[in-house]
Amino acid sequence: MGALPQLIGDRRRNFHPREEDIGPVIEEIEGLIKVYRDGHVERLPAVVEVPCTWAPEPDVVSKDVAVGHSAGLWARFYVPELRKQKLPLLVYFHGGGFCVGSASWRCYHEFLARLASQASCVVLSVNYRLAPEHRLPAAYEDGLAVMRWVTQQASHRGPDELGWWRARCDFARVFLGGDSAGAAIAYNVAVQLGSLGVPACLRGVILIQPFFGGVARTSSEKNTMQSSRSALSLTTSDCYWRMALPPGTDRDHPWCNPLAKSSPKLEDLRLPPLLVCVSELDILRDRNLELCEAMSSAGKSVEQAIFAGVGHAFQVLHNHHTSDARTSEMLTHIRAFINNR
């Protein structure tokens, strides 16, 4: 398993040959990704990748494991070593507009190790397929495959190389979570599971700044000015959706906009309780709040937590002077949400 971060790094960086050989760039998010006319994708090393052996939290052990039989699907576990009792499991999906990001990115490694320690839970951080090579619903399918794998692990009997992890998990208390695009994955996986009948073990879904869109602009999308350090501008958001959605579709596709007319009615969805974390300076603020209001009106259990003075992905990018304080607040909310279920 030690080769996994290197393999994923090779796949996701994809440095390109000469531009004259592959044509002009047709989509670009500066510093992160370029897509060329011939379909070649170049991902830039914007964030340092770290091995699972790097330990930002002294009480948390981390390991990489292959997940199921899907090619390239793997996950990084975070297990609080000092907790003697069995712990709830949080299946987590990283952000990156469905197009960039990795479970081995240092910013996620640090945040999820801290989350595991402070919320007293085991975290499984999923490394799913990326667009535009693998457009939606590929990431949603990977999320569902991971949940099937978790179910298999819960019923596994006998010793093997994953016994160290299973022995620490309370499989009767499983949570889905993610930030940005990862939150959209968590939501869609929960919807798919609900269509099959919500498993009793799924106790809640944690959506951190969920990356949803729509053809009609919200007020925060139109009016919230973003600094050069922002993780998400309106232009960037549109570019991510063009690369992630199936060709020929728009932002009112159900995989993008859960409140669109073409999306399943919220009243008909079977969902566990939701925690939605909203950032005040995020262009997604109003869209996130509209989701909370619609969920509540549809009779769903939803908690919202609003974090003042910070923008998108502050908890991993630390790009606001109050990021550390607000991240501590977020972890307190997540811990309470998990412990109460």
Do 153 and 162 touch, CB atoms closer than 8 A? yes
101: left (phi over 0), alpha (psi -120 to 50) or beta: left
Tokens 């009948």 found at: 197
Q: Output b/e per residue, 277-299; b: 16+ Cβ within 10 A.
A: bbbebbbbbbbbbebbeebeeee
How does DSSP assign 136-172, residue by residue? Answer: TTHHHHHHHHHHHHHHHHHT--S--TTHHHHTTEEEE
Whether 261 and 186 have beta carbons less than 8 Å apart is answered as no
Q: Report the Cα–Cα distance between both ends of the chain, in Å, rounded.
A: 33
Q: 46: helix, coil or strand? A: coil
CA-CA distances (angstroms) from residue 158 to 81, 153, 169, 286, 316?
22, 11, 15, 49, 38
What residues does 34 pair with on adjacent strands? 28, 42
Cβ contacts of 284 within 8 Å, gap of 6 or more: 209, 210, 211, 212, 220, 221, 232, 237, 278, 312
Q: Please, which residues have CB within 8 angstroms of residue 76's CB and are 6 or more apart in sequence?
A: 52, 62, 63, 64, 65, 103, 104, 109, 112, 124, 125, 127
| Active site positions, annotated | 180, 282, 312
R_g of the chain computed on alpha carbons: 19
Closest CA to 73 of 2, 130, 122: 130
Q: Which amino acid is at 153?
A: Q
How long is the chain?
A: 341
